[in-house]
Amino acid sequence: MTQLARRLGVRDAVLIGLGSMLGAGVFVSYAPAANAAGSWLLLSLAIAALIAYANAIASARLAALYPESGGTYVYGRERLGPFWGYLAGWAFVAGKLSSCAAMAWAIGVYAWPEQARPVAIAAVALVAAISYRGITKSAAVTRVIVVIVVVALLLAAALLLISEPTAAAGTPPAPDNAVGPGGILAAAGFLFFAFAGYARIATLGEEVVEPERTIPRAIPVALGMTVALYALIAIALLRSRGAELIATDPAPLAAAVEATGITWVAPVIRVVAILAAFGSLLGVLLGVSRTGLAMARDRHLPPPLAAVHPRFHVPHRAEIAAAVVVILMLLLGQLATTISFSSICVLTYYAIANASASTLPPTTLMHRVLPIIGLIGCVLLAVFQPLATVLTAAAVLAIGAVIYALRHPHGPSTTSQSRDS
């Protein structure tokens, strides 16, 4: 058997998207974003949300046309050519493996700081075991986590909004006049990291029921719910602490809640952050393995990774391989640049998605304009990340391009023909 089982409806697809977006990002991304943008934080959030929306519409239109696993790897291949599909898949896998490592680190740091690395490795192993048993079990776990995270975030926001502001007296105002467009765009890039999970729905295209209807409905719903919740949290944090204090707190939401004097809430928020990071890690690992499955089918990755388990109907070898690579990153790497590196690679992935969507016949003015906005926005957010990370990501993408060129010295392969034969 080479096809995956279609088991997911709209609700499960939305929950997988929410589980991927409501992860570690909402608990950690506000601090570097506030450091870059000051009290222009809400503008950065709006920019990130606009670009995410443009990407979501592009992904939804393309997923309805190509309802199979692989996401932009498939879209780029079919609309732009084999190389661009390959580059999208390469960027996605590189970025999301780095994201998995960052999420696992977050679990370790929040759960047991002194033993963060072993805890992170154990979290990856547990997520791989859940995913290996089948997508239905993974969706059930995601459903529980999403409910817990949403309730906790709403309670925290309500507490911060009804409590007196807790910013220290005499704290100097954020130097907004020193914040330029580059800082606002850099902050939007950090916040975009928290939005990127909606692509997980598109990469599960071969496992949803009626993908032509389910995917276009699930992506905007999941993104809209996430944007509303993130905006509420940002407003609550700015009112309670101010941008200058948000920027200094590694865990700004927990610190803000603790500063209200209701001390028991902060540990709850930390526990919820661990659950959220776990749920996001689960969703990301699912997406990486499905993209790996699609690339292995086209022999851009080792063909054995295309195997589907005869009982659980999951790409079990691709899942195991992804987990092993993430564990190696945890053993050899550090947390410092993983979020930024992941953002750049994922923005590259979405830039190709928007370029692919721009080749579709526009049925409305929005369908004509949004792919251009998304493409330009992805490029801008990527290049305004820290220079060292930009150069590192560019080198990784260049390595992928060289590998492709070595495998196809006489030009693009006729991949689609080989898949049909």
The pTM (predicted TM-score) of the whole model is 0.81
Is position 2 within any domain?
A: no
Give me the amino acid identity at 300. Answer: H
Encode 260-329 in three state secondary structure.
Answer: CCCCCHHHHHHHHHHHHHHHHHHHHHHHHHHHHHHHHHCCCCCHHHHCCCCCCCCCHHHHHHHHHHHHHH
Is position 272 within any domain?
A: yes
- Cβ–Cβ under 8 Å, residues 324 and 136: no
Domain span at residue 137?
Answer: 14-165+175-416
Q: What is the pLDDT of residue 4?
A: 61
Encode 29-50 in three state secondary structure.
Answer: CHHHHHHHHHHHHHHHHHHHHH
Q: Is 65 exposed, middle or buried (0-12, 13-18, 19+ CB in 10 A)?
A: middle
Could you tell me which residues come within 8 angstroms of residue 177 by beta carbon, excluding any fewer than 6 positions away? none
Q: What is the pLDDT of residue 415?
A: 42
- Hey, CA dihedral for 328, 139, 58, 231, is it positive or negative? negative
Residue 393, CB-side half-sphere exposure with 13 Å CA sphere: 31
The count of structural domains within the chain is 1
Q: What is the pLDDT of residue 3?
A: 59
DSSP notation for 207-252: SBSSHHHHHHHHHHHHHHHHHHHHHHHHHHHHHHT-HHHHTT-SSH
Is position 351 within any domain?
A: yes
Dist. CA 149–CA 18, nearest whole Å: 10
Q: Give Dmax (Cα) for the chain.
A: 72
SS3 state of residue 162: helix
Q: What is the pLDDT of residue 124?
A: 95
Task: Specify the CATH number for the domain of residue 70.
Answer: 1.20.1740.10
Dist. CA 22–CA 276, nearest whole Å: 6
Q: What is the pLDDT of residue 330?
A: 87
Is position 371 within any domain?
A: yes
Is position 170 within any domain?
A: no
Dist. CA 382–CA 122, nearest whole Å: 32
Q: What is the pLDDT of residue 152?
A: 92
Is position 268 within any domain?
A: yes
SS3 state of residue 348: helix
Is position 359 within any domain?
A: yes
Tokens of 267: 């540990």
Q: What is the pLDDT of residue 199?
A: 63
Q: What is the pLDDT of residue 198?
A: 66
Is position 151 within any domain?
A: yes
Q: What is the pLDDT along the chain (421 residues), one digit of tens a residue?
A: 455 666 677 777 788 778 778 878 888 788 888 888 988 999 999 999 999 989 988 988 887 788 776 678 889 999 999 999 999 989 988 998 998 988 888 888 778 877 888 999 999 999 988 887 765 555 677 678 888 989 999 999 999 999 888 765 344 444 455 678 999 999 999 899 888 776 666 666 667 777 767 777 887 888 889 999 999 999 999 999 888 888 887 778 888 888 888 878 889 988 998 888 887 788 788 878 877 887 788 777 788 998 988 887 788 899 899 999 999 888 887 766 787 888 999 999 999 999 999 999 877 888 889 999 999 999 999 999 989 999 999 999 999 999 899 888 766 554 443 333 3
